[in-house]
Amino acid sequence: MAENVEWILRRHERIVVVAANGHLQRWPFTAPPIINDPLTMAGEHLAAELGDQMVVIAGSFGGGELFLHRPRLEGPPGHTDTYVEELRELAPASLDRLLAAAGLPDCLLDLRTVPSSGQVADRFAALTSIMTGGQETPVDPMAAFDAVVHVAAVTPWHHLLDEVRR
């Protein structure tokens, strides 16, 4: 992914990359108990090449209905079944829970402006994760991201297959 972005940047001055938080974060990706060994992500590679020229904006949410998938055990490798699940609880030390508890409306928060000391700084320093769907993903949000777009609630997207099935 990082090499593709770098290839484009050799031809264009700027690029906007939209991807899941885990791909763009400046932090090794893990998702215990499935992915226990840290993976170097595109965001880490790009940060090494681009430095301060890169701005990473995470996405977070306070709850809602999640469109998820799980492996189809009887099917070929990589095939999944989709389902919708209500998110009942945010991880206690997640960026998502902190922002949801603050009662913020849908917003963009520049994490680079978080104070370096005091109660607000302490709350952000205590964060150890971000939500990936209904799962907590270990990450230091302050090191991994420059900003975050937070929405109060998510809803499932409408899929072309839904229309075909009707």
Least confident segment among 21-25, 75-79, 133-137, 140-144: 75-79
Report if pTM > 0.75.
yes
Q: What is the CATH number of the domain that holds 20?
A: 3.40.1660.10
Residue 59: pLDDT above 90? yes
Residue 139: pLDDT above 80? yes
Please count the structural domains in the chain: 1
pLDDT of residue 82: 84
Q: What is the mean pLDDT of residues 82-97?
A: 93
CB atoms within 10 A of CB 94: 22
Name the residue range of residue 57's domain.
2-165
